[in-house]
Amino acid sequence: MSRQAEVVRSLLATLVAGGLRHLVISPGSRSTPLVQAANERAELTLHVVLDERAAGFFALGLARATQTLCGTVCTSGSAVAHVLPAAIEATESGDALVALTADRPAAVRGLGASQAILQPGLLAPYAQHFAEIDAQHPDVDALLATLQHALGEASSRGGVVHVNVPLSLPLALTPGDLPLLPSPLTAPQRPLQPAVPPPAPNERVLLLAGPLAFSDDVAPFLRARLPRHQVVVFAEPASRLRDALGSVRHADAFLRDAEVRAALLPDRILRLGAWPISKGAQLVLEDAKRLGIPADTVQPRRFSDPLRQNRLTSLDGIPDALRLWPVADGQREPLPWIADWQVIDAAVAPPASDWHEASAIDAVARTLHKEQTLVLGNSMPVRDWESFAPELDAHIHVEVSRGAAGIDGTLATIAGLAVGRAQQVTAYLGDCTFLHDVGSLQILAQLNGRHAGIRLCVVDNDGGAIFDYLPARSAMPESVHVACFTTPHGLNLAEIARGFGLDVIACADLAAWRDAVAEPVRPGRTQVLLARFERTSSEAMHRAYWLAAGQAGRLALSVRA
């Protein structure tokens, strides 16, 4: 067997030993031996996606669904650059990804050879580890051993490993035996972080859970240790703790009111996960900063503390910082402060009956059951879900790409989640988010029959409605706001989806929408449900809701006084 074939096979063995289980192949010539060697490894499940950008997001979805290291392999040249957006999201949200890129031999770099570009470092700084596995190197074993450490690091803590592989002609693998897998590395024991103190008697604690708070096993742990009589939980859907911990539901709306917020401030905030999406939660954190209310931050993977309030942190999946908390006693009278939160939360009701985002979300949410994954698109959809969704079964997997909060790659990520988790996936996303990744409809079309069913609920308000709420809008002519920010497209999304052979239902009223969501999704099929809304009436609905929530909160406080 040639030296190159031997090194490529050893590389695949190292990747498998490092935890790689799913590999997404984008076709190309230079990557031939990598693809052949991948086909030889029974441990790997292989997928094929034409567009490397979509392949990256598909692998990201697989990594999220399976909580394992997943990878892409592509040819040399500009193909490599397309993996960057998924690498950014993986890095920022703590998913484990390997980008395997074929390259021309190092000797032809810089000479104008075809498809020979500067690949080393191209994914930096969003690849925490870079390895060039070159059969010409004098000590390939040392390179592979270093790579194995990097893979272990990415598997346990999340992050991206870029493996660039210069390959010479002839490319096709010569026959040879499979190398043995390298023996697994043992992870070093890291010391426990200092504990965040448990609530003192009568201390009012607000628990704010933002995106990426914790993995599934943490909710029962927290439930046992949070003293119900003194902790208020405000958990966003993206935290995955919202329904498991019994969160208040309308806090984003009533905390926008300064008077209500002032009455509800806690003695201490405990933040879990990344920076909150909710405006109301952000305002509480800003007030806390101004007033010197302490906020501890406990984060599983990615550190975020933009207001620099944090005293303690843990970067572990299991919250070391909370591990030393005793199991809470539930015997005491609830603090009056808790009752204030609850009374106000109960006094606020989202608008229910007309045809708008609130009623559309309510209808979708009521169809979900526990063996399902829910994907929320960025922009208004994730925010609207937090505002308007009723309580869900706590076992539903809620997924949002909040690492970099992009509207890119959403359809490919959904496809990866559907295949990786083998569960029905319901997604709720905006029209621009859909169009941004429209090429990935091809993946959904090709996956027909290979998943439990995908329902894409697309809110088509003909542009990016989120920009209607930004303060900058009033600083420019409305025509500039619409042309340069909202960007109406006027496209017929139904025809686009039908062109890819997907099942489509376009709904113009709530009755049609309710009928559509009541029908189960056919296993193996992707269905697109379109809800058409006018941006102006949608904006009026949101503003009226926020106003009413503030008024209801103030009224509840005055009655109590």
Ligand X SMILES: Cc1ncc(C[n+]2csc(CCOP(=O)(O)OP(=O)(O)O)c2C)c(N)n1
Q: Round to the nearest angstrom and report the end-to-end CA distance of the chain.
A: 84
| Stretch binding Mg ion (CB under 5 A), from 164-172, 286-294, 431-439, 442-450 | 431-439
Choosing from 461, 500, 502, 516, the residue that interacts with ligand X (CB under 6 A) is 461
Q: Cα–Cα distance between 255 and 546 in angstroms, integer?
A: 9
Sign of CA dihedral 229, 234, 240, 244: positive
| Stretch binding ligand X (CB under 6 A), from 96-104, 247-255, 462-470, 497-505 | 462-470
> Quick one: angle between helices 336-347 and 535-560, nearest 10?
140
Least spacing, CB of residue 432 vs Mg ion, in Å: 5
Q: With contact defined as beta carbons under 8 Å apart, do 138 and 8 qualify?
A: no
Q: What is the DSSP letter of 20?
A: -
Q: Cα–Cα distance between 68 and 58 in angstroms, integer?
A: 14
Size of the site for Mg ion (CB under 5 A): 4
Q: Which is nearer to Mg ion, 295 or 506 (CB)?
A: 506
Query: How many of the other CB atoms lie within 10 Å of CB of 338?
Result: 16
| Stretch binding ligand X (CB under 6 A), from 75-83, 142-150, 313-321, 457-465 | 457-465
Should residue 526 be labelled a site residue for ligand X when binding is judged by CB under 6 A? no
Contact partner, 381, from ligand X, Mg ion, none, Cβ < 5-8 Å per class: ligand X
Contact partner, 52, from ligand X, Mg ion, none, Cβ < 5-8 Å per class: none
Q: Find the binding residues for Mg ion in span 464-523 (CB under 5 A).
A: 465
Least spacing, CB of residue 529 vs Mg ion, in Å: 15
Choosing from 247, 461, 486, 538, the residue that interacts with Mg ion (CB under 5 A) is 461
Contact partner, 405, from Mg ion, ligand X, none, Cβ < 5-8 Å per class: ligand X
Q: Which is nearer to ligand X, 309 or 426 (CB)?
A: 426
Should residue 430 be labelled a site residue for Mg ion when binding is judged by CB under 5 A? yes
Q: With contact defined as beta carbons under 8 Å apart, do 298 and 195 qualify?
A: no
Q: Which is nearer to ligand X, 102 or 414 (CB)?
A: 414
Radius of gyration of the chain (CA): 25
Q: Please name the amino acid found at residue 509.
A: D
Should residue 528 be labelled a site residue for ligand X when binding is judged by CB under 6 A? no
Least spacing, CB of residue 478 vs Mg ion, in Å: 17
Least spacing, CB of residue 279 vs ligand X, in Å: 15
Side-chain-facing half-sphere of 397: CA atoms under 13 Å: 22
DSSP lists the bridge partners of residue 48 as 25
Q: Which residue is nearest to ligand X (CB)?
A: 430
Q: Which is nearer to Mg ion, 73 or 465 (CB)?
A: 465
**Per-residue contact track with ligand X, 279 to 308, x per CB under 6 A?**
------------------------------
Contact partner, 380, from Mg ion, ligand X, none, Cβ < 5-8 Å per class: ligand X
Q: Find the binding residues for ligand X in span 306-335 (CB under 6 A).
A: none
| Stretch binding ligand X (CB under 6 A), from 198-206, 319-327, 371-379, 412-420 | 371-379
Q: Which residue is nearest to Mg ion (CB)?
A: 430
Q: Cα–Cα distance between 234 and 248 in angstroms, integer?
A: 6
Peptide bond into 179 cis (omega under 30): no
Q: Cα–Cα distance between 484 and 478 in angstroms, integer?
A: 10
> Tokens representing 290?
């101004």
Look-up of token digits 């580890």: 129
Size of the site for ligand X (CB under 6 A): 17
Q: Which is nearer to ligand X, 221 or 469 (CB)?
A: 469
Torsion of CA 553, 554, 560, 561, to 10 degrees: 160
Should residue 465 be labelled a site residue for ligand X when binding is judged by CB under 6 A? yes
Least spacing, CB of residue 280 vs Mg ion, in Å: 22
Backbone dihedral angles phi then psi of residue 172, each to the nearest 5 degrees: -60, 140
Query: How many of the other CB atoms lie within 10 Å of CB of 435?
Result: 17
Q: Cα–Cα distance between 431 and 461 in angstroms, integer?
A: 7
Should residue 148 be labelled a site residue for ligand X when binding is judged by CB under 6 A? no
**Per-residue contact track with ligand X, 376 to 415, x per CB under 6 A?**
-xxxxx-----------------------xxxx-------
Choosing from 384, 431, 437, 468, the residue that interacts with Mg ion (CB under 5 A) is 431
Sign of CA dihedral 428, 434, 436, 438: positive
Choosing from 433, 442, 526, 527, the residue that interacts with ligand X (CB under 6 A) is 433
Q: Which is nearer to ligand X, 461 or 527 (CB)?
A: 461
Q: Which is nearer to Mg ion, 261 or 436 (CB)?
A: 436
Contact partner, 409, from Mg ion, ligand X, none, Cβ < 5-8 Å per class: none
For 319-387, give the DSSP string: -HHHHTPPPPP--SPPPHHHHHHHHHHHH-----SSSSHHHHHHHHHTT--TTEEEEE-TTHHHHHHHH
Residues whose CB is less than 8 angstroms from the CB of residue 463 and which lie 6 or more positions away in sequence, other chains included: 431, 432, 482, 486, 487, 488, 489, 535
Q: Cα–Cα distance between 226 and 325 in angstroms, integer?
A: 9
Contact partner, 166, from ligand X, Mg ion, none, Cβ < 5-8 Å per class: none
Q: Please name the amino acid found at residue 381.
A: P
Choosing from 88, 432, 452, 493, the residue that interacts with ligand X (CB under 6 A) is 432
Tell me which residues touch ligand X (CB under 6 A).
Answer: 377-381, 405-408, 430-433, 461, 464-466
Tell me which residues touch Mg ion (CB under 5 A).
Answer: 430-431, 461, 465
